[in-house]
Structure 1
Amino acid sequence: MATRSRDDREAKRRIRQMEAKRALRHEQAKRRKRDNYLAIGAAAVAVILAVVLQLTAFSSNPSESEFAAAEAGLSSASASPSSNSQGIPSANTATGKTFTGQLALNSGVVGVELDGKVAPQAAAVFKSLADSNYYKGALCHRLTTAQTFGLLQCGAKSQDGADDPNYHWGPLENTPADNKYPAGTIAVARSSNNAYGNGHQFFIIYKDTNIPADAAGGYTVVGKVTSGLDVITKIAAAGLQAGATNNDGAPVAPVTIDSFSLK
């Protein structure tokens, strides 16, 4: 009888051990599953944050960031074709044409060329604005001076860079497939994620710059600097006004447009 009792106790002990091991394995499996969920969640958050950063980094124009110039400092306009009531000229007025001229700044003269063969709508707009003396007295209000991101943005009527919300047009034209904008490029500023968010403003690239496309695409390259790029590089070399952050702000010496002529 004593032997049987010992056997029963040993059997119960083994059963308890088996149950404990089974519970431990179950808990370990739950922990691994929870850890996997956490890892997947963290990775998803990281991806989402990266996408959001890329799409919003330009909500206020090009900046030092690798994601910079996607915005060009304009308020977002509705993503719709331009209205004729805005006075947007027809692309036909520039189709196949090349316009040459000068952008006279208070710090020097820059020779420019606009290419209506690859960007007829943009060339038509800027030819029309130049002919109407729109740019006389306008500002080049924004400068970026990062190592791999350099541009001067022009065409604003006020220091805050605001543009006329009722003057917007598109579509995008001649956007670089590789997102690279060589020194001397003249491109159209626009609101983010909006192929019809172009306005009055443009930017001049003074050193090779990478500008990632946003949801709408890249930025319309309308022309190039033909002479006087050193005028822009000297403005950049002088630096930014106090209070600028991330190598992005107003030029230390105010830059204004004396005239913009095209023929």
Structure 2
Amino acid sequence: MSNKREREYERRRYEKWQARQAEAKARQRRQRIVAGSVVGALVVVIGVVAAVVANGSDDTAGSPTEPGDTTTATTPAAEATNSDLVPDPALAEDREWTGEITLGQGALGISLDGAAAPQAVANFVTLAQDGFFDGTTCHRLTTEGIYVLQCGDPEGTGLGGPGYSWGPVENAPADDVYPAGTIAMARQSGNGSSMGSQFFLVYEDSKIPSDGAGGYTVFGQVTSGLDVVTAIADAGTADGSTDGSPVSDVIIEGVKIQ
């Protein structure tokens, strides 16, 4: 009976994963249809952000060109929330989780705070157990103003996600300071309900200004192996800028959570 329940659980989990994948593919098709307008607008926005970070500018009043916004996901705001697919925050079980993120460059020990950020932890644990992150790239490295490596996009472009989004922001630091080792959710600028699967690893203390949606959801810490991320950052970006893809591919080989 126990084996039967386990098989049924695995079957339901697999079907849910298939639903997420199907929705992600459908979203990609919709994005291609509007590529002429949406992608053009995104290119302009991303170009402005990159220029501001490179110049060390500090814009004001929640502008999308603030340095802090370089950690946000660029998923279009028009994406449906698909709330029925969002993992139940109760799955976080109000406890600390431990695990490991294995990159091609080395392993990171992690802890996740299910009490402080139940929705984010439930989301991350569910995606990790479904193998969602396996084989994905950490597509964005920022080395000036803020110091983060962004991961969790199945497309590797900054546009991808799990086929749903959620919010609001949980457990953001009141002083906007994200210490080295912080694991936090990426999101779209000004949209606290745009979180999906993208997250960022802080490898050096960073002050990331809040916007109208608040700060960024802190849901975990790197407990070992932060030097792996630091070495990736020290190698720089592929184009030599302060905000771009790492010079060498950073692939998540697997995520184990317990």
| TM-score over 0.5 (shorter chain) | yes
Instruction: Give 1 or 2 for the bigger CA radius of gyration.
Output: 1
Q: Is the 8 A contact 2:136 2:156 kept in 1?
A: no
Query: What SS is found at the alignment partner of 2:68?
Result: coil
Alignment match, 2:69: 69
The structure where strand makes up a greater share of residues is 1
Query: What SS is found at the alignment partner of 1:233?
Result: helix
Q: Is the 8 A contact 2:71 2:148 kept in 1?
A: no
Shift of 1:165: 7.9
| Alignment pair present for 1:156 and 2:153 | yes
Using the alignment, how far apart are the partners of 1:214 and 1:70 within structure 2?
12
Alignment match, 2:204: 207
| Alignment pair present for 1:51 and 2:60 | yes
Alignment match, 1:128: 126
Classify 1:50/1:252 alpha carbon distance in 2 versus 1 (closer, same or farther; 3 Å): closer
- 2:170 is matched by which residue type in structure 1? E
Using the alignment, how far apart are the partners of 1:229 and 1:149 within structure 2?
16
Q: Is the 8 A contact 1:75 1:165 kept in 2?
A: no
Q: Is the 8 A contact 1:99 1:116 kept in 2?
A: yes
Identity %: 43
Of residues 165, 169, 172, the one that matches 2:166 is 169
Alignment match, 1:109: 107
Q: Is the 8 A contact 1:189 1:219 kept in 2?
A: yes
Shift of 1:149: 1.5
Classify 1:189/1:236 alpha carbon distance in 2 versus 1 (closer, same or farther; 3 Å): same
| Alignment pair present for 1:195 and 2:178 | no
| Alignment pair present for 1:256 and 2:251 | yes
Q: Is the 8 A contact 1:77 1:165 kept in 2?
A: no
Structure 2 unaligned regions, length at least 5 = 1-57
**Which residues of 2 match residues 79-118 of structure 1 at below 5 A?**
82-85=81-84, 87-118=85-116
Using the alignment, how far apart are the partners of 1:229 and 1:101 within structure 2?
14
Shift of 1:158: 2.6
Using the alignment, how far apart are the partners of 2:75 and 2:104 within structure 1?
27
- CA deviation vs aligned residue, 1:54-112 (integer Å, no higher than 9, x gap): 42116xxxxxxxx32365232243599x5443x21111111411110000000000000
Alignment match, 1:233: 230
Using the alignment, how far apart are the partners of 1:256 and 1:225 within structure 2?
17
Alignment match, 1:21: none
CA RMSD, 1 decimal: 2.0
Structure 1 unaligned regions, length at least 5 = 1-48, 59-66
Q: Is the 8 A contact 1:91 1:120 kept in 2?
A: yes
Q: Is the 8 A contact 1:189 1:202 kept in 2?
A: yes
- CA deviation vs aligned residue, 1:7-46 (integer Å, no higher than 9, x gap): xxxxxxxxxxxxxxxxxxxxxxxxxxxxxxxxxxxxxxxx
Query: What SS is found at the alignment partner of 1:164?
Result: coil
Using the alignment, how far apart are the partners of 2:160 and 2:111 within structure 1?
24
Query: What SS is found at the alignment partner of 1:100?
Result: strand
Shift of 1:128: 0.2
Query: What SS is found at the alignment partner of 1:235?
Result: helix
Classify 1:71/1:184 alpha carbon distance in 2 versus 1 (closer, same or farther; 3 Å): closer
- 1:74 is matched by which residue type in structure 2? T
